[in-house]
Structure 1
């Protein structure tokens, strides 16, 4: 079973915070074939929505705070952003951006778990979230990299009610009988600059072809296409502005 539409507690959206939204739009069009639609209103700050065909799948926005890294932010659906933010602080997390409206689309907040991994929550209005999930070009998996797996399990299970399932040496997150993500250790990333974070994986028809295209158009290959034991074929990349993302073979999530 896989999640194919926004579901409370599950990933529903991903947003890229970047130093150059137009350049990012060109890059991801080459990599995933995304179409970009930039909100023309001055107050939007260049907010750009990416789509596969007519289905909205992700967005990009300029960096809005000093020191904000160029990065993808994973967003989880919630019926109540205020209540979720309060629950996060009650169990040791932090509120980075207090709940606020994004035009008529919905209400969001940016939060962090006790180890510092940032994520967002989305209370939908006119936009429920991604209009395509677990299909080529769309979000297919999310992964937490952390140095304290035990605390992460306690935190996310309490905040979101996720199930936790061991798959060999790999921990998977689920809700309603569907696994949507996993957890690895920071040390497994094998880079000294890595801090706790959430990483989105986008489903693709061919990991090898997409990885080559992503590298050839200005990105950097951080992890070459690899077959995970008893899992999918994956690769990890960094876009030209520095945001890291993963890709996996479509149809192998969970």
Structure 2
């Protein structure tokens, strides 16, 4: 378990949020699945909801605009100490700035962008809100990875814009690299397998920790969600990919229930 109250290093996945047509349905689903508490930020913030576990912020949830063409997704935000400079860097490196940069009241400054391969992500400059306060724990963010069909282009982009070092896995069956900030692994970058349908766009995938992956998948279906990829064992824990009751995909992976004090 990691609890943070200071800004994340630049280039680190630091926050996630979900914008969906029906926030109430999302509250029912994620509240039942993860035991999240929700705090409405009021009319000034568009009734955006902060999701927390034991008083620690883990994610955000809001309503998408009517007739919004973009699909509902979990958005991964990468930390930056200067969102305007990072947004300029996105454009210079062949990406696209889709929204912002703009201030979020006094909480921080943000933008939404896409890399040259089409994977959408956010930029977050900490203000009063540093990002997710609790990670590496059940019901909280565990891992973020970018999956794309043009691995080399995406790799060059994230190295240039965020200074990520990339370390390829020694596996002939997959093309995958870890993203490092300094000497710390912060996320992953992989090539979408050929068997993935062509209509699945490049994307950032969010992983949540659970104490029992099989039980979590069963609970997802009870709550009106669906299974995208059934539970399977990996060197990092038992994992699965599912979709919520509004069709938004995410992954779950088994983590230890007891906190590790050395990671605080």
1:148-227 counterparts in 2 under 5 A?
148-169=150-171, 170-187=176-193, 190-227=196-233
1:246 is aligned to 2:247:
no
1:2-151 counterparts in 2 under 5 A?
5=4, 6-40=8-42, 42-64=43-65, 66-151=68-153
The 8 Å contact of residues 31 and 214 in structure 1, kept in 2 or not, is answered as yes
Which structure 2 segments of 5+ residues have no match? 257-264
Instruction: Indicate the SS of the match to 2:135.
Output: coil
Distance 1:168 1:177 in 2: 18
Distance 1:189 1:54 in 2: 41
* Mean Cα deviation higher: 79-88 or 198-207: 198-207
Instruction: Indicate the SS of the match to 1:187.
Output: coil
* Mean Cα deviation higher: 2-11 or 146-155: 2-11
Distance 1:152 1:112 in 2: 10
The 8 Å contact of residues 15 and 59 in structure 1, kept in 2 or not, is answered as yes
Q: TM-score, normalised by structure 2?
A: 0.89
State the Cα RMSD in Å: 1.7
Q: TM-score, normalised by structure 1?
A: 0.92
From 230, 238, 252, give the equivalent of 1:233.
238
Query: Following superposition, which runs of at least 4 residues in structure 1 exceed 6 angstroms of deviation?
Result: none
The 8 Å contact of residues 142 and 181 in structure 1, kept in 2 or not, is answered as yes
Distance 2:184 2:47 in 1: 35
Structure 1 residue 4 displacement after superposition: 5.7
Distance 1:237 1:62 in 2: 21
